[in-house]
Structures are given as structure tokens and as C-alpha cells.
Amino acid sequence: MIQIVNDNLDEIATEHFKRLQTGIKKGLESQKDLRDLIFSVCSLEELIVSNPEKLEDISNKLEQKGISNFKKEANQVFNYEAFCRRTSKYKYYAYELAHRLGINVCPYCNRQYTFTVRNNSKDVTRPEFDHFLTKVKYPYLALSFFNLIPSCKICNSTLKRDNEWSVSSHIHPYIQGFGSEWKFSLKLKKGKGIDFIYGNEDAFEIYFKSKGNKKIERNIKDLKLIEIYNQHKDYVSDIIKNIVVYNDSYLENLYEQYEGTLFASKSDIYRMVFNNYSNLEDAGKRVLGKLTKDIVEELKGIDNTQITNNKSLI
């Protein structure tokens, strides 16, 4: 998982509330019991823009007060289906939020593009929005800004679905990503050292090297990341081959030859060779960014003789 990074998140969240408040307030006028219950715990603005930790605290208090008895009413007031299309109720809708956020790669898996594409007045495609705290159980959080996670269809609709997540049980992408606590690594199969150097996909498995973060473990399990990432062994094979071909001295010569023309910095060479970015903070700019960074770092630190002698990469 990659942390969602946008310098204007608070500004976007505030605008999100301002654009929705009229429609929600109008809905609450006809659901006074639901309105009074919510306002006994928080303001409408707090319900819509609170950060993930505070939002979960608000939710816990509302559940204790019995808001689960108002699911039908909450679905009508905080109408996510209406938010997903242009309607008279919400002049502001999901495409506008997705466009403002500009999340181009799924933060849950980092392997699917999630571009928001609009052609003049026509909407073409956008990421889906996962409800971190599931909409089925918490319909009154269906439009809460930090509960809406831009994500790919596979992560949202196929894998996470209505699974029960919380900030105490799982990693929340508006709070943090996997970072250095969990890294992609390669497990060399016995007797496959030479095949590994040649980039043979049968010579290794992809797995996660852990520092024991249980919340990350749950994300990986629920989103089937180990199983899915092992379908990208062809991509890792290309990384292995590029490391063999583009050794450090070759890269240094390329930089000296094209510095100031093709390459403004050595990170530009990295991006050319591995088709990705070298910094973790840029991992969300292209798919498989974290996989690329972790595997390159691991293999750059291993002597080829260690591999050919069939020693473990672990």
C-alpha cells in the first residue's frame, strides 16, 4: 500500500463539505431523529471532514447511541449512489472529487492505474471509491471525505468489498503506507542460481519481508497481495536482466555522456532503465513503483557469486 499524498488535502476536504452540505442538510430536515442523534455527537462538518482517527471515534460514539437503527434513513440522506452521478440533489459528484485528488495509481495495491479522464463535458473513467469503514455497516459515513479511498475495481469491488476494516486493525492510506516496514523480496529456489541471473521466472518467488506490523499483514491478506504480485514475475525478470546489463560502471558512463541533455540527474537514468521512480515518495506515480524500488535495492546489495552458489536471498 502507498500513502495518499496531496499537499491540498485539507482544502479539498473543506470544499467537499461545502459542496455537499446543502443537499445533506435538506435530507436531514426530513429525518429529525437521525439529525438529532448525529448532532448530539458531532457537527455535520466534523462528520464529513474529520481525519480517519477522529472519524472512527465519532462512529464509535454514534454506534453506542444506536445509530444502527437508522440505516435506511442514513442511506437516503448520505446517498452515495446519487453522489456517483450528476443529479439535482448533488451538483458536485464523484468525478469532481476524483479529479481534485489526482490519484493515478491504486493506493491499496500499487499495480493498477486509476486515472480520472474527462473529455470536455463527458466523463470517461475514474477510480472507484472504497469506503474504508464499510458503507453497509456505516451508511452515515458514505460521503465522509477520509472514508472515501480512490482505488481500483479489483481492490474495491473484488477483494475488500464489505470486509470490516478499522484504523486499529488495518493500514489506512490517508495515514500511512507500507514504507520500509514491509518490503518486497525474492526467494531464490534451490539450485536455480544461474537461472535466476538469466531472469528465469521459475527460479524465484516474490514475497514480503516483514518487520511484524500486524495491520500491514491484514492488508496483505485481505487484498491477496502475495498471490497477485506473484503474477508479476515477468516484470521482476526484466528488473533482474536490467541490473545485469546496466551495471554501475555502465550507468556512470551513460550519465557522464548525457548529463544535461537526456538526464538532469542520476534518478533520470534509474527511471529510464527500470521504467519507474527511485524515491519511495514517488511510488504512487507509476504502477509497481514500490515493487521496483524494493527489488532493485535488494539485488544491488547482493553479490552475483552469492546467487550462483545458490545462497538464499533472505
Nearest to 74 by CA among 137, 126, 15, 122: 137
Q: What is the pLDDT, as a whole number, of residue 91?
A: 77
Cα separation, 248 vs 252, in Å, equals 6
pLDDT for the residue 120:
80
Residue pair 269/263 in contact (Cβ under 8 Å)? The answer is yes
Q: What mean pLDDT, rounded, does the chain reach?
A: 91
Q: Name 209's Cβ contacts closer than 8 Å, sequence gap at least 6.
A: 182, 183, 184, 185, 314
Q: What is the pLDDT of residue 235?
A: 95
Residue 314 predicted with pLDDT over 80: no
Q: Report H helices in the chain.
A: 9-29, 32-39, 44-49, 52-64, 71-77, 80-83, 94-101, 153, 193-197, 214-222, 225-229, 233-245, 248-258, 266-274, 289-300, 304-308
Q: Tens digits of per-residue pLDDT, 241-278?
A: 999 899 889 999 999 999 999 999 989 999 999 999 98
In this structure, how many other beta carbons lie within 10 angstroms of the beta carbon of residue 184?
23
The predicted pLDDT at position 88 comes to 58
CA atoms within 13 A on the CB side of 175: 16
Bigger pLDDT: 172 vs 300? 172
CB 149 within 8 A of CB 107: yes
Note the pLDDT tens digit of each residue in 19-75. 999 999 999 999 999 999 999 999 999 999 999 999 999 999 999 999 999 999 999
pLDDT digits (tens, 9 = 90+) for 41-50: 999 999 999 9
pLDDT computed for residue 196 by the predictor: 80
| pLDDT tens sequence across 82-101 | 999 876 566 789 999 999 99
If you search the block for the grid coordinates 511510488, which residue do you land on?
283
Average pLDDT score over residue span 130-137: 97
Residue 89 pLDDT: 64
Arithmetic mean of pLDDT, 158-176: 96
* ∠ CA 194-197-199, rounded to 5°: 115
In angstroms, the CA 85 to CA 158 distance is: 22
Record the pTM. Answer: 0.91
